Structures are given as structure tokens and as C-alpha cells.
């Protein structure tokens, strides 16, 4: 049984032990981790670390006590609204991350269905590529979830979605882009399906919210996905992904305050005073909110455009390199920062098992998420991987030659873990 030290320990000793503990962690600072970490570079670290120290202890539970955090929230939400082409009616909150933003949107859709259409047995429709957080939300909030197949290009199959929509549907979801293959669903059509029954339409842009606006400014083709699309009611966009703030901050944004009201909880019938809760948290660290504010200010639109240009060029280079290797393919025609690499059985060569390939890459220090079906090595490319793609592609080719014809015994996939 573990026992906490009785007398306490000096800080130098504690920090040294924490540093030692990290030895087995992925070496993201070397740029060899494709996902989980989003590294905006030294000046972004510096401003985030200074802001984090300032707000290490602050609590956004009560913005009367900490008005600066109220202002920080409304400014960050306002800047994000502008990026996503919402108008002055829009309203949102900061949350702890993509999952919490999604949970909030699903809860709001359920409450909206109850308030506007008296739906007491709510249902929702999502594609099989929609993030697992929607399933978690359905589980937590007692909503029946219909999961629909995607087409061969990995985008939503609208007929399959339409088949599941009925007068109990409170929510229809599209992703911009979806995580597994990085494709953008047909958002205008999905919004129109939701509108047919008066359901809420949420766009999950946790991954794309801080990429697509800049990709569009850079002249890349970006299909319609944001508040310019009629019928889009809410969008989740994570600042702690390609917004380059440290972990713990996302935006949930609604087209208007009336829609946002479905998310909030207020209560005044206990002995502790008026309780107003914007999201799923109680006490709320000011630290991620302040770092998001600082990083967004530091990068500005030009900074984000430059990071996005480099990231998308790196992702293009990665896709081209993979496509050049006989027996490998990139799933879907993604033009953004997510790359799904799978084996291509049409080759004359001995087949490549991407899980054996992933193990070989891991031995060289490259970390990918493994997913299925189909067996895939998944990369989220970001500025974290600036300058490493050529070396990666050389190692990829070498690992393909090493493992061609082999099959890994371990077929497990692990997006996330419990302990």
C-alpha cells in the first residue's frame, strides 16, 4: 500500500523525482509524437508559462471575485466567434477541453428538445467517425444514440443519417474535420437534416476550429462548415489543440444566447447561496483560461496563419511520402492536418502490417495513435512536428523494409487509457 511521506519533502528533491518519472514518457519535444501535444514553439511556451504562473491559483468559479477571468473568458470566446464567423448575437463559454465542450453541446441539445418540442425520450444521430465523446455524452445524459455509417470517402452518409432522424431527435452532429481520417462532413446538408425536425445541429471542430479559418485565409479549399452555414447551432473548437495553448481549454459557442441558455444550470435552494454553473465544472482553474488568452494574443492572426501553413505543408509532405511507398495508403483525401496511414492490399509486394510498422517506428522514437477498423496508424500533424518530416519519411521507408511480411501479435488499439 502506498503511503504519503509523513514529514513532507524539500522541493528540489520532489522536482528531481518528477523529472526522473518523465523518463519513459514520449519525447514530444523532439517532434516525434504525432498527436496529444501541440507545440507552438519557444515564444509560445514562454508567454504561456508566464501567464500560467500568474493564474496558477486563480478560480473562475466566481468572476465577481476574479473579474479578470470573466473578461478573459468573454474576450477569448469573442475572438473565436469572429474566427468562426458568428455574429454579435453569439455566446459561448470556455471549457476544459473538447470532451467537455461536446458534453455541454449534447446537454444543451437535450434540454432544447425538452423545452421547445417536449421531447422526453431524446435521440441523437452521429456518424461512426464522430468522436467517442458523443457516446460518452449519450451515456451520461440518457440519450439514445444512432451511429450511422460513412461513405467510401469517409464523410457522412446523408441517407443513412436521414433514416435515423425522427421526431424524438434532439441532436444531429457533423465534424470539421472528423478525427479518424481527417475529412470534413457535408455540414450544410447535415444542418438541413436537423432543421427538418427542429433538432439542434452541432459541428465538432475540436480539431479544425483553429486550423480551418487560417487554411481558408491561406487560400486552401475549405468546404462550408462554420456559422456561415444556415442551421449550424453550436460549434466546439479546442484552443488546446492547434490553438497552441497548453491543455485544459476549449470553446463551446452557440449561435445565440437563447441556445446557450440550454447549457447552463442555476440553483438557489440549498444553504450555500446562488449557484450558477456555465459548464460541467465547479471550481475552475484560471490557468488554462489565462494561457489561452496569452497565446492567442501572442500569435495573432498572422502567427496562426504561419503555423497553419507550415503544418499543412508538413502534412502534405507526409501524405505524399506515404503514397510513394508500395503497399501503404492514406485513407481519404484529407487536405488538412490529420493523416490516416493503412496498408494497401492491392500491392504485389508482401503485405505491410501497420501495427508491426508502428512498433518498428516506436523503437525509433516515433509515436502514432493506433486505431481500427481498418488497422491504421494515425497522425495529428502540428507545429510540434516542424522540421522532422524528412527524417520521419526516411525512417518510415526503413521500417517498411524491416517489417514487410511480418504481423504484430498485439492487435490492440489505444486512443486513451483508464489508469
Ligand X SMILES: Cc1ncc(COP(=O)(O)O)c(C=O)c1O
Measured from the CB of residue 316, what is the shortest distance to ligand X in angstroms?
20
Task: Report the interface residues with ligand X, using CB under 6 A.
Answer: 97-99, 102, 131, 133, 175, 179, 204, 206-207, 238
What is the helix (H) or strand (E) element at residue 339, kind and residue range?
A: strand 338-343
Q: Which lies closer to ligand X via its Cβ, residue 63 or residue 96? A: 96
Measured from the CB of residue 291, what is the shortest distance to ligand X in angstroms?
15
Residue nearest to ligand X (CB): 98
Contacts of 328 (CB under 8 A, 6+ apart): 322, 341, 342, 343, 344, 352, 354, 400
Q: Which lies closer to ligand X via its Cβ, residue 69 or residue 207? A: 207
Measured from the CB of residue 68, what is the shortest distance to ligand X in angstroms?
24
Tell me how long the chain is.
Answer: 419
Measured from the CB of residue 338, what is the shortest distance to ligand X in angstroms?
8
Cα–Cα distance list, 5 to 14, 15, 20, 21, 267 (Å): 11, 15, 18, 17, 41
Measured from the CB of residue 104, what is the shortest distance to ligand X in angstroms?
12
173: β partners:
202
Q: Which lies closer to ligand X via its Cβ, residue 120 or residue 416? A: 416
Closest CA to 175 of 200, 196, 206, 152: 206
SS3 (DSSP) at 279: coil
Q: Which lies closer to ligand X via its Cβ, residue 66 or residue 93? A: 93
Q: Which lies closer to ligand X via its Cβ, residue 85 or residue 136? A: 136
Name the maximum alpha-carbon separation found in the chain.
Answer: 73
Rounded CA gap, 153 and 175, in Å?
Answer: 14
For residues 161 and 189, the answer to whether their CB atoms sit within 8 Å is no
Q: Which lies closer to ligand X via its Cβ, residue 92 or residue 97? A: 97
Measured from the CB of residue 164, what is the shortest distance to ligand X in angstroms?
21
Amino acid at each position: 500500500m502506498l503511503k504519503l511521506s509523513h514529514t513532507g519533502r524539500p522541493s528540489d528533491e520532489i522536482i528531481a523525482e518528477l523529472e526522473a518519472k518523465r523518463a519513459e514518457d514520449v519525447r514530444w519535444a523532439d517532434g516525434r509524437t504525432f498527436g496529444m501535444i501541440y507545440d507552438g514553439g519557444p515564444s509560445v511556451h514562454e508567454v504561456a508559462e508566464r501567464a500560467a504562473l500568474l493564474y496558477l491559483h486563480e478560480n473562475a468559479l466566481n468572476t465577481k471575485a476574479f473579474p479578470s477571468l470573466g473578461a478573459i473568458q468573454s474576450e477569448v470566446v469573442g475572438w473565436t466567434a469572429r474566427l468562426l464567423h458568428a455574429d454579435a448575437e453569439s455566446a459561448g463559454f470556455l471549457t476544459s477541453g473538447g470532451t467537455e465542450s461536446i458534453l455541454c453541446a449534447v446537454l444543451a441539445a437535450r434540454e432544447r428538445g425538452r423545452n421547445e418540442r417536449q421531447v422526453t425520450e431524446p435521440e441523437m444521430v452521429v456518424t461512426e467517425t464522430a468522436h467517442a465523446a458523443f457516446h460518452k455524452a449519450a451515456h451520461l445524459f440518457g440519450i439514445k444514440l444512432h451511429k450511422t455509417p460513412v461513405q467510401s470517402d469517409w464523410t457522412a452518409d446523408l441517407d443513412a443519417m436521414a433514416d435515423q432522424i425522427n421526431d424524438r431527435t434532439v441532436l444531429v452532429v457533423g465534424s470539421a474535420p472528423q478525427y479518424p481520417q481527417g475529412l470534413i462532413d457535408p455540414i450544410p446538408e447535415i444542418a438541413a437534416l436537423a432543421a427538418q425536425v427542429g433538432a439542434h445541429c452541432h459541428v465538432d471542430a475540436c480539431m479544425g476550429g483553429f486550423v480551418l479559418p487560417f487554411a481558408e485565409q491561406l487560400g486552401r479549399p475549405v468546404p462550408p462548415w462554420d456559422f456561415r452555414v444556415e442551421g449550424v447551432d453550436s460549434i466546439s473548437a479546442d484552443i488546446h489543440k492547434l490553438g497552441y495553448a497548453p491543455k485544459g481549454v476549449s470553446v463551446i459557442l452557440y449561435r445565440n444566447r437563447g441556445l446557450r441558455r440550454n447549457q447552463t444550470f442555476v440553483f438557489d435552494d440549498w444553504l450555500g447561496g446562488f449557484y450558477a454553473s456555465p459548464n460541467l465544472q465547479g471550481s475552475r482553474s484560471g490557468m488554462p483560461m489565462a494561457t489561452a488568452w496569452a497565446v492567442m494574443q501572442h500569435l495573432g492572426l498572422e502567427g496562426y496563419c504561419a503555423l497553419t501553413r507550415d503544418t499543412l505543408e508538413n502534412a502534405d509532405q507526409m501524405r505524399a511520402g506515404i503514397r510513394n511507398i508500395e503497399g501503404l495508403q492514406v485513407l481519404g483525401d484529407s487536405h488538412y492536418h490529420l493523416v490516416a496511414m493503412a496498408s494497401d492490399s492491392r500491392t504485389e509486394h508482401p503485405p505491410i502490417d501497420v501495427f508491426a510498422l508502428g512498433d518498428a517506428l516506436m523503437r525509433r522514437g516515433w509515436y502514432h495513435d493506433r486505431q481500427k477498423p481498418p488497422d491504421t496508424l494515425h497522425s495529428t500533424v502540428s507545429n510540434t512536428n516542424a522540421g522532422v518530416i524528412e527524417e520521419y519519411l526516411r525512417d518510415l521507408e526503413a521500417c517498411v523494409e524491416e517489417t514487410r511480411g511480418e504481423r504484430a501479435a498485439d492487435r490492440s488499439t489505444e486512443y486513451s487509457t483508464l489508469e
